[in-house]
Structure 1
Amino acid sequence: MNPDQGGVCQGIRNTLPAMASLNCDNDVVCLDGVDDTFGVKDAFRVIRLGERVGPWAYSKKLRGWLRNSLPDYDAVVINGLWTYHSFAVTSVVSQLRREGVTNLPRVYVMPHGMLDPWFQRQPSRRLKAYRNWAYWKAAEHRTVRHADGLLFTCRKELELAREPFRPYRPKQEINVGYGVPSPPRFTTEMKSAFLEACPQAVNRPYLLFISRIHPKKGVDLLLRAYAEMAGKYKTAEGVPLLVVAGPCDSAYAEEMKELARQLGLWNAMPSIEDGSKPQVTFPGMLRGDAKWGAFYGCEAFVLPSHQENFGIAVVEALACGKPVLISNQVNIWDEIQDYDACLVEDDSQIGTNRLIDQWLKLSAEARGEMGQSALQCYGKNYRPESVAARFISALSGA
């Protein structure tokens, strides 16, 4: 449940409080260290069984806990695939059934995008793709086949999950959606916290990228597109600042900083004498007030990702009334486009250039209308309360 790992644990934290408000109690069982709270106080019970071991995340305590505790629950959701926890649940349930235990819970699997064909087709993941294929044949297809159903975050994820592996025989495919809590109301403290973390944005309009700085996210495409647009729009206003917010402690993040330097977009030590201003800045990971200040203050959110199962940050931007500039590999792009709350292009250099260019050409009036549409899109599709109701309906077998 380490929040730095994003994705799955964030989705759980978004959904369970809304389910509790509908009188559905939940426990989370994980393989974190027994004292690892990561500074987070959750509103639901987290049962930490101890550190996992190795890349398979093996835990010698998990099977025993499952044997003793599964009959106490009405339903179990396996969040994610490819590690020991999914194998353990499937094998223990099968064993208990053979032993004649009848009061067992319904079991569902929520892949969280882990069955997306991108992971099998991406050249840089070739060895992992072979490993996943072998593991699917040996074990994971049974997890899917034996479960009472598969739960998906959006329609596109459900459709894509059918492509990469055989045999693929789920009993049910259910699009439950994904809830993202409403952001806190804007305060001046949020603006101050963001500008303290990112002083380059003082009195400047900016576009916001906030995510992991990872090859999958299309950061290189975005930087090159910015260099192209900076050369094209040589006006008094120029292009807005680009804020690339995310952990900067990886080798790839350093590569992206170097690329920004080479493109003339960023300098770690800008010259005060010549009055130059960076066109890109890397403030690191933004949290709390600084994060919300970044969302509320931006012109638009941008994510030209090569693969995005859902995109929590995309929906957070919508909830703040901000248009989103995204690739058509963000799986909810069509849902957002139905509300005219986004610009969408291919996840290519040409597509990303076009994405930024289209935004810069929009009038202030058109941008304002997109912002209003963003709020409507969030309200109709991504509030946790409506998603929790669908989730509970699915888990009850309705």
Structure 2
Amino acid sequence: MKILDVILSLNPLAGGPQHTVRAMSQIWRSMGHQVDILTLDAPDAPYLEPGLVKHAFGRLGSPIRRPGLSAAFDRYGYAPGAARKMAEIVQDYDMVLVHGLWNYSTLLARRVMVGSGVPYCVFPHGMLDPWHREKYPLKDIVKRIEWPFIEGALLGGASGGLFTTQAEIDLADGSYLPYRIHPVLVGYGCQGPVQDAQVSLAALHDSFPALRGRKFLLFLSRIHPKKGCDTLLRAFAQCLPDLGDVDLVMAGPDQVGWSKELKDLAATLGIANRVHWVGMITGEVKWGAYHAADAFVLPSHGENFGIVVAEAMACGTPVIISDRVNLCDTVIEHKAGLVGPHDLASTVSLLRQFARMSPGERAAMSHAATDCYHTHYELDAAARRVVDILADIAKTAKAPGPHHPVAA
């Protein structure tokens, strides 16, 4: 099968969807499928490895800085001429897979794919979660205005909207009107560790010697209000008497400039010397952090899946997460961690509950976490499941109408 993956950017700092595109495209290629990636990155963007992207039609990640209004267009991903270029190539593919919403790649896909006669699916990646509407009401007004013409039209014409969990489907249902989406539950997965744990631990301690010999809880995700970072800091401060000689590691990129405020909060709470801010970590350093942590903690206000949770479980690390992380039901089923509401009181309660667990109880939870990952979230199995679903959709999809050329 010939698949075209469409995504705004493959910048690693973007998190989420770009990891899916990179990992699954490699597996699909190893299975014999032709998988090409279209992004709105600049062809010379420093994070695009040779051979990774066939179609780079934009200017994101360019070393050239554009001041003023042009910078705002760049953040949206605006790429002059991209629609014409995409329209010239889509007929070569059996399936087009669009990742994400609310950016220029969505508008690009709507202009080109609706009425093209080429089957396509849309992977919202949690971007219809109600948290966004509640947290940013002014942005939501703009989204409601544009929905019928861009995102809603794109999803309405798609052969399927791909969702990772039933909870994500339920949360998205009716989020914007008119809501015409054919939901397809595809599940999800992630790559587990490749190297032996000792290799990863050595990489962690070489990069961050202060963590050598220290017990710690790990937060690894974007430093963003959605992730509940402030809730975690406040809960950690309240639970120090229960946790004892345990630190907190805060790892991840700061896309919104929130770290300074959070570090000030840690100082105010009297825990600055117990919190390690390590920034974005990747590769063996990341896996070393998962292996070394007593538990992984994510009191997020909303996650369509929670790939970092699955990564932690792949390392046998118990997880402490909110019930807004949509794979939480599976965590509960396997007894792979602790789950509760995303407020401060509940996060405090979960941390105290973990602190009271015996070594035997923690070991059992660690084994359960590993079992949960291998049963549900191994990447190869997930990738094969998704591509089989796409192949079935491509075979049965009826062309919505004749192809109409798209203007530049």
Residue 243 to residue 137, structure 1, CA distance change in 2 (3 Å): same
- Paired residues of 2:114 and 2:154 also in contact (CA < 8 A): no
* Deviation for aligned residue 1:39: 5.7
* Residue matched to 1:255: 261
* Residue matched to 1:4: 13
- Paired residues of 2:58 and 2:77 also in contact (CA < 8 A): no
1:281 and 2:276 are equivalent in the alignment: yes
1:135 and 2:122 are equivalent in the alignment: no
1:85 and 2:96 are equivalent in the alignment: no
* Residue matched to 1:269: none
* Residue matched to 1:364: 359
1:317 and 2:312 are equivalent in the alignment: yes
1:393 and 2:388 are equivalent in the alignment: yes
* Deviation for aligned residue 1:82: 1.6
- Paired residues of 1:248 and 1:254 also in contact (CA < 8 A): no
- Paired residues of 1:162 and 1:168 also in contact (CA < 8 A): yes
- Paired residues of 2:110 and 2:151 also in contact (CA < 8 A): no
Residue 136 to residue 289, structure 1, CA distance change in 2 (3 Å): same
* Residue matched to 1:162: 173
1:57 and 2:77 are equivalent in the alignment: yes
Letter in 2 for 1:282: W
* Deviation for aligned residue 1:248: 5.5
* Residue matched to 1:240: 246
* Rounded Cα–Cα distance in structure 2 between residues aligned with 1:93 and 1:261: 51
Partner of residue 120 from structure 1, selected from 108, 111, 133: 133
* Residue matched to 2:91: 71
SS, match of residue 184 in structure 1:
coil
* Deviation for aligned residue 1:189: 3.9
Count matched residues.
372
1:26 and 2:35 are equivalent in the alignment: yes
* Deviation for aligned residue 1:376: 0.9
Partner of residue 218 from structure 2, selected from 199, 208, 223: 208
Letter in 1 for 2:11: N
* Deviation for aligned residue 1:149: 0.9
1:228 and 2:238 are equivalent in the alignment: yes
* Rounded Cα–Cα distance in structure 1 between residues aligned with 2:388 and 2:255: 42
* Rounded Cα–Cα distance in structure 1 between residues aligned with 2:114 and 2:274: 58
* Residue matched to 2:303: 308
* Deviation for aligned residue 1:75: 0.4
Q: 381-390 or 68-77: which moved more?
A: 381-390
1:174 and 2:184 are equivalent in the alignment: yes
1:264 and 2:270 are equivalent in the alignment: yes
Percent identical: 35
What CA deviation, in whole Å up to 9, does each residue of 1:273-306 have, x standing for no partner? xxxxx32221222222221111111111111111
Partner of residue 298 from structure 1, selected from 293, 299, 308: 293
Letter in 1 for 2:18: C
Letter in 2 for 1:312: I
What CA deviation, in whole Å up to 9, does each residue of 1:237-273 have, x standing for no partner? 814111111236853111111111111111xxxxxxx
1:341-352 counterparts in 2 under 5 A? 341-352=336-347
- Paired residues of 2:197 and 2:291 also in contact (CA < 8 A): no
- Paired residues of 1:201 and 1:241 also in contact (CA < 8 A): no
What CA deviation, in whole Å up to 9, does each residue of 1:76-110 have, x standing for no partner? 011111223223323333455xxxxxxx4211111
- Paired residues of 1:186 and 1:296 also in contact (CA < 8 A): no
SS, match of residue 308 in structure 1:
coil
* Residue matched to 1:382: 377
- Paired residues of 1:51 and 1:59 also in contact (CA < 8 A): yes
* Deviation for aligned residue 1:163: 3.4
* Rounded Cα–Cα distance in structure 1 between residues aligned with 2:100 and 2:46: 20
Q: 195-204 or 146-155: which moved more?
A: 195-204
* Rounded Cα–Cα distance in structure 2 between residues aligned with 1:90 and 1:39: 25
* Deviation for aligned residue 1:37: 4.1
SS, match of residue 360 in structure 2:
helix
* Deviation for aligned residue 1:45: 4.1
SS, match of residue 51 in structure 1:
strand
* Deviation for aligned residue 1:395: 1.4
Residue 184 to residue 4, structure 1, CA distance change in 2 (3 Å): same
Partner of residue 146 from structure 1, selected from 142, 147, 157: 157
1:190-201 counterparts in 2 under 5 A? 190-201=200-211
Letter in 2 for 1:255: E
TM-score, normalization: structure 1? Answer: 0.88
* Rounded Cα–Cα distance in structure 1 between residues aligned with 2:254 and 2:386: 36
* Rounded Cα–Cα distance in structure 2 between residues aligned with 1:202 and 1:92: 53
- Paired residues of 2:162 and 2:183 also in contact (CA < 8 A): yes
* Rounded Cα–Cα distance in structure 2 between residues aligned with 1:108 and 1:376: 31
SS, match of residue 158 in structure 1:
helix
What CA deviation, in whole Å up to 9, does each residue of 1:217-239 have, x standing for no partner? 11111111111111x33xxx814
Please list every run of 5 or more consecutive structure 2 residues that lacks an aligned counterpart in the other structure: 1-9, 61-72, 394-408
Please list every run of 5 or more consecutive structure 1 residues that lacks an aligned counterpart in the other structure: 97-103, 267-277
- Paired residues of 1:318 and 1:378 also in contact (CA < 8 A): yes
* Residue matched to 1:330: 325
* Rounded Cα–Cα distance in structure 1 between residues aligned with 2:188 and 2:214: 33
Residue 105 to residue 131, structure 1, CA distance change in 2 (3 Å): same
RMSD after superposition: 1.9
What CA deviation, in whole Å up to 9, does each residue of 1:152-187 have, x standing for no partner? 1222112211131111112x2111112201212225
